Structure 1
Amino acid sequence: MASVSASFEADRHAAADPRRILVGLIGRGIQLSRTPAMHEAEGRARGIAYIYRLLDADHMGDGALRLDDILAFAEHFGFDGLNVTFPYKQEIIPLLDELSEAAERIGSVNTVVFSGGRRIGHNTDFWGFKESFRLEMANAERDTVLLLGAGGAGAAVAQALLESGVGQLRLFDIEEAKAAALAAELTSRFGANRVTVASDSVTAAARVDGIVNATPVGMAKLPGIPLHPALLRPDCWVADIVYFPLETELLSEARRRGCRTLSGESMAVHQAARAFELFTGIVPDIDRMRAAFDAFGDTPVPHSASGD
């Protein structure tokens, strides 16, 4: 009887363990996200009761739920924080109480920490892409690079590219005004002649050293390719920040045409690691999170159960 009582007491104390973390990912079409697997695996390894939930607006009611309602829901049910992905990285900013220096500078948020009744926005995409590019594209030519997409992810990637030594960045977005606004902001920080706005992707792709896709085109939710495959030359490297699916049509075409490629895996792992640190105060094991990413595969999680 004593052993049973001792076991119950141990369970009671474990249930009261303050190292309990509840976080989630807000977005649309995120059922293939590997972010929950990475976070929960690292949490288990650290002895934390770590729960990560997908708050996919496409699978919540009729799909018309407002972002502020999702945030209120998360706070009401005791979430410690949230990751934010397409299409909410900029829309969420007016709903927050405070921004980190990086989030304010970039104008995009992909991580929100709930602390002391306040919503604090951060951007880990910038660091995630910059680390990915540093580690996997160290010797890549970067005099001129074309960036597709000037939204929340594009703003983070643009700054990471410029800080990584890209000489001239060409911005293309189907909403040219959005590209122009981002170009103006980048010019104020990095100086004239570093950033130009392209009016069409065909002209912009000519004679560039690399092409980066920071649009949602290629996601499972938005299949396709963001520019014509004929523009992919073998002497031009291609990077895609989309990672579900990991093998996008853009990367598949680029490899087939002999291009050096960079998938969204490394960026996803590094941004998730930085978000884990923000949620827990613990520096995670990058290799362990990468192993969880690799083990997940491209099988959708159940709808009843997605960084990014």
Structure 2
Amino acid sequence: MAATLGRSVLVGLIGRGTALSRTPLMHEAEGARQGLRYVYRRIDPAEMAATPSFEEMLRAAEICGYAGVNVTHPYKQEAVSYLDDMSEEARAVGAVNTIVLKDGRRVGHNTDLSGFAESFRRSMGGEPKGRVLLIGAGGAGSAVAHALLDSGVGTLLIADTNRAGAEKLVAALEGRFGRGRAAVAPSAEAAAPDADGIVNATPIGMADHPGMPLPVSLLDGRHWVIDIIYFPMETAFVRAAKAAGCRTATGAGMALFQAVKAFELFTGLPADPEAMRATFDSFGAE
């Protein structure tokens, strides 16, 4: 540890609408706890006078000496086109949320996958089983889909307003898990009544994307419900699910455990999940 004391680490988050993200403080607090000069900056085109492309933002991070960046909505799939290499998980998912910048190379990782799996185990007390409806086939949805099937879900029904995106994800899942494990749902509304669990992996419900991914009337007490959003911490969807008697989980766990893994990738040092959780919780409910 002594050899790393005082080492400077500059990292960032590329994404749109990230003002409420708790990731920067989690990383900086953990870096300080380990004796690093750790700086985490948001790179958000929504806060810029011009609108740079993802490639321009990534290149700017390289030029400024960043050790890496996290990637969030809406760039997780687009980012794949600008990498030199990817981890096995990221390659399987087809999306990245972490890019390590080292020795002139860009290496993509997907810590959302393991983050969701660990969060589910802790919040739901086991592994997901049965028939699950996943709403959203984007970068986060793809990671959640792989995590659900990895964890033992029997059948995964995927609903997305972009049907082509859902079909592409199902094809990728079939290539990895075999036929019959995943299918495109005609709609979230049509699939919900037969589902044991429901996961929202769309931005609907975020502070800047208000709304509900599914009509409240379709929620039933036998469902377990997860919304991977964590700002706001408790979305209208989670509140409605609680009112319907469902077991629920927010995106807090996924946000925490993906950050733990990303910190380790950026620094080469093990992170303390409980210390990072304490920082996350220090923000309060909102």
1:230 to 189, 208, 217: 217
Shift of residue 257 of structure 1?
1.1
Deviation string, structure 1 residues 67-109 (Cα, Å, up to 9, x no partner): 1111111111111100000000011111111111111111000
RCO higher in structure (CA 8 A, sep ≥6): 1
Counterpart of 1:7 in structure 2 is: none
User: Are 1:196 and 2:189 counterparts?
Assistant: no
In 2, the alpha carbon distance for the partners of 1:52 and 1:32 equals 14
The verdict on how the C-alpha distance between 1:226 and 1:54 changes in structure 2, with shifts beyond 3 A counting, is same
Question: Is the Cα contact below 8 Å between 2:11 and 2:67 reproduced in 1?
Answer: yes
The verdict on how the C-alpha distance between 1:241 and 1:141 changes in structure 2, with shifts beyond 3 A counting, is closer
In 2, the alpha carbon distance for the partners of 1:20 and 1:290 equals 23
Counterpart of 1:55 in structure 2 is: 43
User: Are 1:35 and 2:54 counterparts?
Assistant: no
Question: Is the Cα contact below 8 Å between 1:134 and 1:164 reproduced in 2?
Answer: no
In 2, the alpha carbon distance for the partners of 1:28 and 1:192 equals 35
Unaligned runs of 5+ in 2: none
Give the alignment's TM-score, normalised by structure 1.
0.89
User: Are 1:104 and 2:54 counterparts?
Assistant: no
2:32 to 34, 41, 44: 44
Write out aligned runs for 1:257-296 (5 A).
Answer: 257-296=244-283
1:124 to 100, 111, 115: 111
Question: Is the Cα contact below 8 Å between 2:127 and 2:152 reproduced in 1?
Answer: no
Decide which moves more: 137-146 or 186-195: 137-146
Give the alignment's TM-score, normalised by structure 2.
0.96
Question: Is the Cα contact below 8 Å between 1:80 and 1:114 reproduced in 2?
Answer: yes
Partner amino acid, structure 2, of 1:224 = G
Write out aligned runs for 1:89-100 (5 A).
Answer: 89-100=76-87
Deviation string, structure 1 residues 4-34 (Cα, Å, up to 9, x no partner): xxxxxxxxxxxx9661100010000110000
* SS in structure 2 of the partner of residue 22 of structure 1: strand
2:169 to 160, 173, 182: 182
Identity %: 53
Counterpart of 1:87 in structure 2 is: 74
Shift of residue 138 of structure 1?
2.8
Count, aligned residues: 283
2:52 to 62, 65, 88: 65
* SS in structure 2 of the partner of residue 270 of structure 1: helix
Counterpart of 1:303 in structure 2 is: none
In 2, the alpha carbon distance for the partners of 1:223 and 1:144 equals 27
Question: Is the Cα contact below 8 Å between 1:147 and 1:212 reproduced in 2?
Answer: yes
Unaligned runs of 5+ in 1: 1-15, 300-308
Q: CA RMSD in A?
A: 1.4
